[in-house]
Amino acid sequence: MNEVVRKHRYEIQVLRRKIKEKRPKDVPKNLVWGMDLTRKIDAEGNLNSILGMVEHKSRFRSSTQSTGLIF
């Protein structure tokens, strides 16, 4: 297997670059949303959870707000 990869290293690099640079398919607005939960320590040492939601088409951020809950 290593030998095959070594022989075709350049072709593999070209294909990886094409895949990486390929534009995503166009999707209707409000069809796909992404969500992320992260935690941040404030100046007082409290751990805050932050929920972020993004609509993929427009990259609209509906709101980012601390939940005040500790997980």
Computed over every residue of the chain, the mean pLDDT equals: 82
Q: Which residue has the higher pLDDT, 13 or 55?
A: 13
Would you state the pLDDT for residue 11?
Answer: 94
Kindly report whether the global pTM for this prediction surpasses the value 0.85.
Answer: no
Q: Would you say residue 28 lies in a domain? A: yes
Q: Which domain holds residue 25?
A: 2-66
Domain count, the chain: 1
Is pLDDT above 90 for 13?
A: yes
CB–CB of 39/48 below 8 Å?
yes
- Residue 18 within any structural domain of the chain: yes
Q: What is the mean pLDDT of residues 27-54?
A: 89
Q: 27 or 35: which carries more pLDDT confidence?
A: 35
pLDDT at 12: 93
Distance of alpha carbon 67 from alpha carbon 65, whole angstroms: 6
**Could you say which DSSP state residue 24 is in?**
P
